[in-house]
Amino acid sequence: MNIPEGWTTETVSVNGVDLQYYRTGDGPPLVMAHGFFDNGRCWAPLLTISQTITT
């Protein structure tokens, strides 16, 4: 599945569990959590360039 232009995919290990997340932007960090049946791409229409987004 394609991610929006300018987004990167990164992974972090937390207590032995690998979590994948997306990052974009260059402003102050903002963490956004999606619901169970969705994914981080659901936030794409709401984002502005003024934030660093982690979903």
Residue 17 lies in a domain: yes
pLDDT at residue 18 in the model:
95
| Domain count within the chain | 1
pLDDT at residue 15 in the model:
96
Residue 1 lies in a domain: no
Residue 3 lies in a domain: no
* Three-state secondary structure readout of 5-55: CCCEEEEEEECCEEEEEEEECCCCEEECCCCCCCCHHHHHHHCCCCCEEEC
Q: Residue 52 is encoded by which pair of tokens?
A: 């660093």
Residue 45 lies in a domain: yes
pTM: 0.54
Structural domain that includes position 38: 8-54
pLDDT tens over the chain, length 55 residues: 677 788 888 899 999 999 888 787 777 777 777 767 766 666 666 665 555 666 5
Residue 34 lies in a domain: yes
Residue 39 lies in a domain: yes
Residue 27 lies in a domain: yes
